[in-house]
Amino acid sequence: MYAEVILPVPVGRSFTYAIPAVCADIIKVGCKVSVPFGRNKLHTGIVLSLHENPCSNAFEIKEIRELLGSEPVVGEKDLRLWEWIADYYMCALGDVMKAALPSAVKQTGNVKVKKELHVKLADRLFDKTALNETFESLQKTPRRYALLRKLVEMTSFDTAIKLNNRNLIRQVSRAQLLHESNTSAAVLLGLKAKGIIEIYEYEVLPQQNSTGSIVDMLPLSDSQQKALDEIVNIHSHKSVCLLHGVTSSGKTEIYIRLILQMAAQGKQVLYLLPEIALTTQITQRLRRVFGDEMGVYHSRCTDAERLEIWQKQRSDKPFQLIVGVRSSIFLPQKNLGLVIVDEEHETSYKQQEPAPRYNARDTAIMLAHIHNARVLLGSATPSIETYHNTTLGKYGYVKLDQRYGGIMLPQIDVVDVQDLVRRKIMNQPFSPMLEQEMQQALEHGEQVILFQNRRGYAPVVECVQCGWIPTCEYCDVSLTYHHEDQKLHCHYCGNSFPIPAKCPNCGGHDLRSYGFGTEKIEVEVHKRFPKARTARLDLDTTRSRGSYSKIIDDFAQGKTDILIGTQMVSKGLDFGNVRTVGILDADTMLNRPDFRCHERAYQMMAQVAGRAGRRNRRGHVILQTRRADNPLISQVVNGDYISMFQEQMLQRQQFYYPPFYRLIYVWLKHRNEVVVNKSALMMTRLMQQAFGGGVLGPDRPAVARINMLHIRKIALKVAASPRVSPTEVRKKLRTIAEQVTSVPGLHSTMIFFDVDPL
Ligand SMILES: [Zn+2]
Ligand SMILES: [Zn+2]
C-alpha cells in the first residue's frame, strides 16, 4: 500500500510514500503524517490518496515515519478544492496546503492557547462582613480602596454575595481593570501582596460569547423584499446570482434573511468580505443576529483562534455562519448551502504574493460547485467579468436601485481644476467650491470625507537645479516623502531612507517636494480649518491591530469632523452624517497604464461618492479633475454603470483583453539581470512557437527591480472560446518553464504564473 502525500514545499504535486504495516488499516485520506523529505528532514504532510501502484520513478520510495492521528484533518471535498486551485492557478499543491491550513494544524507539536492575566477577589472575601472589613482596612490608602471598589463593581462581586451564587462573578482582565480604574500596576500589586486579590492566567476564547437575536432585525423595504424573492427564485435553477444594489441599499439585511433561510434547512453559510478593514461594521451587525453561531476569520486572528475555528468547522456542530476574508474559503465546511461574496469587484480577493495566486471570488464559485451550494455575488459596482456573465445568462441578475429609507443618491459636481488653476483662483489641493462646502459642513456640525489615492506626504521629491529624483536602493521606484518621520519611503519594499543633505547628482541644496499625499492633505486641512478634528485612514495609520476600527468608530460617533483617506475610505462603510465627499484628484486614477484602469476608477469614485448622504438630506460630492471631458467622469456623475460597461467592453474586445481573452502573466525573477534577460527571451521564443501571436513581451515592468530582484514579464492572451482548452494551455506553459530552467546557468531563475491577473 502506498500513499500520495502533499508536502508544504513549492514544487510538484504530491509525493509517493510506502505505508508501514502498523498503520495500514487506519490511515485515511486527509490524515496528517510525518515523512522524511530531502536530507533526512521530517515534514508534516497530508494524505491525498491511497493506492497500490507506485509510479515507476527513479527514486527509492521511502516509508511514512508516523501517522499523526487516525482522524483526517482535511476533508475529501477540501482536497478537491486544493487540487483545482493548484491546477487552475498553476502552482504547487504544497503552496495551496500552506495557504489553507492554519499553522497550528500543520505543526506537529502542541497548540498554544492564548492566555490573558485576569484579576479576582480572594475567595475568603466572599462574605459580606469580610469584604466590609477589608474596605475599612483600606481607608488610609485611597487608591487601593478605589481599585478594590472598581473590581467589586466589574466582577459583580457584591451581587454574587447577596444571592450567594459564585457563578455570578464575572471575569475581569488585568488590562481592563487597570484601564477602567485608571490606576497603575503598583496599586494592584499592593492589593495582591495583602492577599486581597489574586492574579491568574485565563484561557481566552477567540469568539465573544453572546447570543444573537432574530428579533433584532430591521424590516425589509418593498424593494429589498422583491430582491430577496428574486434571488431565492434564481437560486432554484441557477447556482450563481449577482445582486447589483446601489450604495446604502441595505444588501446586508437581504443577506441576513438568506442566511436564516439556510440555517432553517440545517445548512451553513460562508460570507466573504474583501478585507478585515471592512468587517468591523458588518460583523457587529451580523453578531447582533447570529451571536455565537457566527465565526469570524481574518488575517489578524491568532494561531489559536484559527485553530479553534478550524476544529469547530470539522466538528459535528460547525458554525452556522463564517464571516471572513479570502483565506476563509479554505475552512472546512460540513453542509455548505450558500456562499456570499460581498463587494465582489474588490481586487483584494485576489492573492498577489505568494502562491497560490488565487481569486477568492472565483474559487468560491468552485467551492460552491463541489458542495452543490449556491453563490450570491454582491456589489454596487460589479466587475466587468461578473456583469458580462449575467448578460450571457451564466449568472442570474437582481437589481436593487433604491437606497434604504428613501435616501437619495448624492449630487455630484465636477470641478475643472485645469481651468481654475489657469485663472489663478485655486490654491491646491482644495477648489473654492470644496473649501466652502467644508466650511459649511463644519458650521453645521456635519462631516466631510476627503479622498486622495496616495499616502505619504509628497509623492515626488526633486532637485530644483538638475531634476534629480531620489529612488529606492533595492527597487527601481521613486521614493515618497513622509512628514511623520521626515524620511523617504519606498512603497514597494517598505524601506525608508534619510533625505540627502544635498543633491548627489549636482550638489544643489534645494530639494523640493511636489504633489499631495494624504499626510500633506491633513496638514493643509489644519492650515485652513485649525479647529477641525481630523483623522487619516491609510496604510500608515492602520498598521496596528484595532487602529482601523478606532478611526472608523470615532468618525461614526462624530468625534472627528474630517476623515482623510486613500481608497480605504471607499470601502462599504456606513455613516449617517456625511454632508460632503471631496474627490481631490480623479486624474491619478485615470492615468494608470492598465486595461482595468477605467473600471477601477469608476468603482472607486462611485463607492467613495456613496459614502455621502445623511439620514434626511442629500449628500454632496465634489469631484476635482483636469480631465472634466473624459467620458468616465460623466459616467460617475450620472451613476451610469451600463455606459461604463459598454464602453469598456468595446475596448476590451478591440485590444484582446478579458472577458474576451484569458490572460496569464509569466513572471521571471533573478538577482542577475543578464540571467533574467536570457531566461525571458528563451521563454518568449518557446511560447511564441507554442501559442503564436498571443504572446507579448518580454517586458520590463514599470517597476523592474524589487528587493534586489530583476523582473521580467511575459503576457499570454488566449481567446476565451470553447475551441481552446485552458488545461492544454497550462500544461504547455509548465513544460516550457521546465525547459527554460533545465538550461545550465538559467536553472536558478524563478518563474511563476499569474492566472487571471488583476
Ligand atoms: Zn541636483
Ligand atoms: Zn524599495
pLDDT along the chain (758 residues), means of 10: 93 90 92 88 92 73 90 93 96 95 70 70 92 93 92 86 75 86 90 92 54 62 95 97 90 93 93 77 83 85 86 89 94 96 94 94 98 97 97 97 80 91 83 95 95 88 89 86 89 87 90 89 94 93 82 91 91 82 90 87 92 80 92 94 96 93 95 96 96 89 86 92 87 95 94 94
Selection from 356, 346, 304 nearest residue 325 by Cα: 346
Output the pLDDT for position 107.
67
Q: Domain check: are 193 and 126 in the same one?
A: yes
Q: Domain check: are 427 and 325 in the same one?
A: no
Q: Domain check: are 625 and 751 in the same one?
A: no
How many Cα atoms occupy the beta-carbon half-sphere of 131 within 13 Å? 18
Output the pLDDT for position 495.
87
In a domain, 242, yes or no: yes
Angle between helices 384-391 and 641-654 (to 10 degrees): 90
Output the pLDDT for position 567.
86
Instruction: With H, G, I as helix, E, B as strand and everything else as coil, classify residue 499.
Output: coil
Cross-strand bridge partners of residue 459: none
Output the pLDDT for position 58.
54
Measure 508 CA to ligand 1 centroid, in angstroms. Answer: 5
Q: Domain check: are 606 and 671 in the same one?
A: no
Please identify every residue whose CB atom is under 5 Å from ligand 1, which is an ion: 463, 465-466, 468, 503, 505-506, 508
Measure 487 CA to ligand 2 centroid, in angstroms. Answer: 13
Q: Rounded to an integer, what distance in angstroms lies between the CA atom of residue 340 and that of residue 40?
A: 45
In a domain, 308, yes or no: yes
Q: Domain check: are 121 and 269 in the same one?
A: no
Measure 494 CA to ligand 2 centroid, in angstroms. Answer: 6
Measure 745 CA to ligand 2 centroid, in angstroms. Answer: 27
Output the pTM of the full model: 0.82
Residues in the chain: 758
Measure 503 CA to ligand 1 centroid, in angstroms. Answer: 5
CATH code of the domain in which 731 resides: 3.30.70.600
**Domain of residue 453, residue span:** 411-459+515-651
Q: Domain check: are 726 and 746 in the same one?
A: yes
In a domain, 548, yes or no: yes
Q: Domain check: are 29 and 147 in the same one?
A: no
Output the pLDDT for position 385.
97
Measure 489 CA to ligand 2 centroid, in angstroms. Answer: 8
Measure 264 CA to ligand 2 centroid, in angstroms. Answer: 52
Q: Domain check: are 638 and 552 in the same one?
A: yes
CATH code of the domain in which 361 resides: 3.40.50.300
In a domain, 210, yes or no: no
Q: Domain check: are 344 and 439 in the same one?
A: no
Ligand nearest to the CA of 506: 1
Instruction: With H, G, I as helix, E, B as strand and everything else as coil, classify residue 229.
Output: helix
In a domain, 509, yes or no: no
Q: Domain check: are 448 and 576 in the same one?
A: yes
Q: Domain check: are 228 and 343 in the same one?
A: yes
Q: Rounded to an integer, what distance in angstroms lies between the CA atom of residue 629 and that of residue 617?
A: 29
Ligand nearest to the CA of 461: 1
In a domain, 435, yes or no: yes
Output the pLDDT for position 544.
80
Measure 501 CA to ligand 1 centroid, in angstroms. Answer: 11
Measure 677 CA to ligand 2 centroid, in angstroms. Answer: 21
Measure 494 CA to ligand 1 centroid, in angstroms. Answer: 25
CATH code of the domain in which 11 resides: 3.40.1440.60
Q: Domain check: are 620 and 717 in the same one?
A: no
Output the pLDDT for position 207.
43
Measure 516 CA to ligand 1 centroid, in angstroms. Answer: 22
